Structure 1
């Protein structure tokens, strides 16, 4: 039986001695025996009639060769280079030289070294709490074993610690400040090791009550500021809306001022209506003053113009005196 690490080289031995009776041609054959007995053996390399044939098994193409370039010397050993985990299996060497026949079986196990090992901390790193240091290798053939050690300080694990070498967990019960430091984990199997480290810092408990109180106060302050902003925004919006409504009412409801000419004309029109409504009986009280001539054209046009002053009763009486009543 052979155990090798992945990537290494292995030599599977196969030596023989010929007798005087062995007179036939020499034939050396290496085969891979499957784990399932229902499957056939797989030829991987052969020496026959002074020639090597190595194209039978694609999984080892380019990675295998006879150790001795001339197997007729009695050495038919096989070299396998750059081993892979898939190369694990049972190999058989068969030597034939009629009438003699001999064979030998070899068990090869290719192991993978531990690799990509990671360390981590699980649990609260507070005084009085239980803390677990974890160590896991991403690669590596079983059986893996884990071992923790303290790098800083006394370099001894705390007395209250519990180590599980199979899972890689180191439990530190009732952690204290003295447990703080750098811890290293070594993962091991039969063909190699790998290592990682982690820093543990044990601190006093956090004041959760103060944090909660501060969070509540901060939330209330934030809500009050938000409410103030909303109130100011609404107030400003109402003021703008009110200004627009007032400006619109002034422009639509207030009528334009009347001109002086229209006022004067209305006044003269009212005087004419008053004169027109007088009857002969109403005019008896007025003194008729004869005119020597007909009023000029300018006098008749005067009522259509805007008077500079209101006419007196005396002027009205003189005008009426020349009216002929029918």
Structure 2
């Protein structure tokens, strides 16, 4: 740290001497690349040297976002003692060393803040001799929670695709797939872009069933999502099923007919025997006589 401080002092003195000798305003950046964790604060350095009074000092910071570099944004302006901010940066930016430096503090950083920043300083009647100061800001963020999905045919012999995607993460998260059960197995991943990856399972079987995990990782953390895949065996063909149903129905009808027939025959036999017994009883109890026999008994 001590060596860095000494180098910075020597570099500052050299630039200051150059500005005095040339009689022109000089602008310089102490850093060309900066990184900040999303949500943290960062100071963007911009130094200038001028030999003229600072009554007409003008400082402008602009941003060319990585997402749309063709549409630069005027972040903050200092002009004749007044400060103006872009609406998207209100409350998050400010100068830290005016009027002696054009350093800008950026609070509560967002991914959209990443890009190329330019510091422009004017102090009439002097003009900037060394051009515009420029630096690149990268906003780092851990992976967002990934989203897992599956699509395809989960029948035995079918094909299934497991997909996983994340919304954000800088540096770009690495996508990995693993099968966790019944045993942990890493799976080859087909990257479908920077933030999504998939696994294709061909000719699925019961051994394919299990718990699958997608991991999205970068230097700042890891997030997971899961898919529980169940492969089922298909029954016989529809024609075979129909034949089986018809055969079962036919056998049931035949069995029912036999039961009804036996029941009918049994009941018919019982009715016949009951009638025979009834006729026999009636014949046994009946008294039969003839008039001729009665008459002979009295002669």
| Short-chain TM bin | 0.5 to 0.7
CA contact (8 A) 1:113 1:193 kept: yes
Bigger Cα Rg: 1
Contact 2:58–2:121 at 8 Å: present in 1 too?
yes
For residues 75 and 188 of structure 2, what CA distance do their matches in structure 1 show? 50
Query: Is the partner of 1:115 in helix, strand or coil?
Result: coil
After superposition, give the CA deviation of every residue in 1:9-68 in whole Å (9 maximum; x if it has no partner).
44322234x47xx242173513325544xx8x764323456x45134x2221112112x3
Partners of 1:124 and 1:33 lie apart in 2 by 49
1:152 alignment partner, SS class = coil
Q: How does 1:11-160 map to 2 (within 5 A)?
A: 11-16=43-48, 18=49, 22-25=51-54, 27=57, 29-32=59-62, 35-36=69-70, 43-47=74-78, 51-55=81-85, 57-66=86-95, 68=96, 70-72=97-99, 74=101, 76-96=102-122, 99=126, 101=128, 103-109=132-138, 114-138=143-167, 145-157=174-186
Q: Could you list the runs of 5+ residues in structure 1 that have no partner in the other structure?
A: 221-326
Q: How does 1:271-286 map to 2 (within 5 A)?
A: none
Measured on the aligned residues, the alpha-carbon RMSD in Å equals 4.0
Q: CA deviation at 1:135?
A: 1.2
Aligned with 2:88: secondary structure?
Answer: helix
CA distance in 2, matches of 1:132, 1:4: 37
Deviation at 1:150, TM superposition (A): 2.5
- Matches of 1:205 and 1:42 in 2, distance apart? 60
In structure 2, relative to structure 1, the CA distance for the partners of 1:61 and 1:132 (3 Å cut) is same
Once the two structures are TM-superposed, the CA of residue 164 in structure 1 deviates from its matched residue by 0.6
Deviations 1:263-306 (A, max 9, x none): xxxxxxxxxxxxxxxxxxxxxxxxxxxxxxxxxxxxxxxxxxxx
| Distance verdict in 2 for CA 1:207–1:13, change over 3 Å | farther
| Aligned length in residues | 204
Question: Does 2:205 correspond to 1:185?
Answer: no
Question: Alignment partner of 1:132: what SS?
Answer: strand
Cross-structure match for 2:22: none
Unaligned segments of structure 2, at least 5 residues: 1-32, 250-299
Shift in Å, 1:104: 0.7
Contact kept? 1:28, 1:93, Cα under 8 Å: no
CA distance in 2 between counterparts of 1:107 and 1:215 reads 74
SS in 1 for 2:153: coil
Are 2:54 and 2:99, in contact at CA under 8 Å, matched by a contact in 1?
no
Any conservation in 1 of the 2:62–2:76 contact (CA below 8 Å)?
no
> Residue 200 of structure 1: CA displacement?
1.9
CA distance in 1, matches of 2:112, 2:168: 15
Q: 1:200 matched to which residue of 2?
A: 229
C-alpha distance in 1, partners of 2:237/2:42? 62
CA contact (8 A) 2:63 2:74 kept: no
Q: TM-score, normalised on structure 1? A: 0.49
